[in-house]
Structures are given as C-alpha cells and as structure tokens.
Amino acid sequence: MAVSLAAVGCAADDPPRVPGGNAERGRAAIARLECGACHVIPGVRGVRSHVGPPLDHFRQRASLAGRFANTPEVLVRWLVDPPRMKPETAMPAVGVTEAEARDIAAYLYGLE
C-alpha cells in the first residue's frame, strides 16, 4: 500500500482529493441539510444524534455503509442517493446535488 500511495504522491494520512470539492462549502451544506440530526459531526453545530454513525476520523474508514469502498467517487454517489446504493439503509436521499456531495466529501475527508 505504501508503494501505491507514494506513486500518487500522497502520504497515508493525507485526505483524499475530491475533484471540485470545497471543504468550507461542505461544512455549510452539512449544517444547512441538518446532517447533525442523525450524525455527530466535528465542526458542525446543531443537534447531535447517534441515529447514524459519528463522522469523525472519516477518511480512516475502510468502507461506507458496511459495504462500499471509502473512495471519493463512491462517497459522492452515496451522499446523492443512499437508498439507490443500499435499499435497506436508514439514510434517506435528502436532495443533495452532486456539487454539494463533492463539497461534503471534501469536508468529511478533512476531519481528523
């Protein structure tokens, strides 16, 4: 794994790059969409719930929803329409656009 990371020029703890993503816009989208109603999300004020998993240390997770590789492309698809990817999920589709999903992904991958 270290060889492949070195080949793309990033260290193991560098956040993945999300093309077109902006972490500050992502934080604002998370707050606006009230993601804190189900998740504890560092840096986002509001309701903090444990319905969904906490989203700290997000980039260190191997998988999303217990089934998918934790990559920017997969995360963006997941954020846009979770039930399409995993019909039995409790996470609803809340109208996140692809641009917003890229921003949210950039924010989540930046969390320590």
Tens digits of pLDDT across the chain (112 residues): 333 333 333 445 677 899 999 999 999 999 999 998 899 899 887 767 778 899 999 999 999 999 999 999 999 999 999 999 999 999 999 999 999 999 999 999 999 7
State the pTM of this model: 0.85
Q: Output the six-digit token pair for 37.
A: 């109603």
List residues bridging with 68 in a β-sheet.
64
